[in-house]
Structures are given as C-alpha cells and as structure tokens.
Amino acid sequence: MAELKITQDNFQAEVLESDIPVLVDFWATWCGPCKMVGPIVAEIAEEYEGKVKVGKVNVDEEPQLAMQFKVTAIPTLFVFKNGEVDGQIVGFAQKDEIVKMF
C-alpha cells in the first residue's frame, strides 16, 4: 500500500482511530533530509503493509497538524498506537531506527 496523504480532514479516521500502528512522516517538498527519508518511508509502507499504516503530512499544506504535534523541525516521524504518540524521531533516520518504533 502506498503512503496515505494525511490531512486535517482524515487525521482522526486514518491515524487516531486506526487499529494498527501508524507511522506519520511530517515533511515538506523543499526539505533535503525529507527527500532522503522519503524512499525509506515508502519502502516501509510496502514491506509492512497490513501491519503498519504509513501516512505523510505536508507541513506547508497542513500547518495546523504540525503545530498540534509541535513539529519544529522536519522530517519528524511519529508512530501512533491506539490513538496516542508512541514514538518520535526528528531528522533523518535509517530504516532500522524507524522500524524499531513499531
């Protein structure tokens, strides 16, 4: 499954009400480290399909979500379990570091 585009409108249903863990990547098109972590996030989305949902929040398009989760640097990756933040990484991370959060 490809990454979901997460917006203010679908955040509740796709992330907070998900019955499986959700990896959410807060990113922007102009961010160099975001471009480096993007393919890793896409790979995780495919490898963990059905076990982990993967979503992306463009901070330029969804500033209210970025503020709600106090995202001050990007990329910022969150793992949500049962509607709560269960892990967070700020900045570029290797795949194994990200997967450990599940």
Catalytically active residues are: 31, 34
- Structure tokens given for 8: 């203010």
Distances in Å between the alpha carbon of 31 and those of 11, 49, 60?
A: 22, 26, 11
Q: Residue 70 corresponds to which amino acid?
A: K
Q: Which residue has the tokens 């076990």?
A: 51
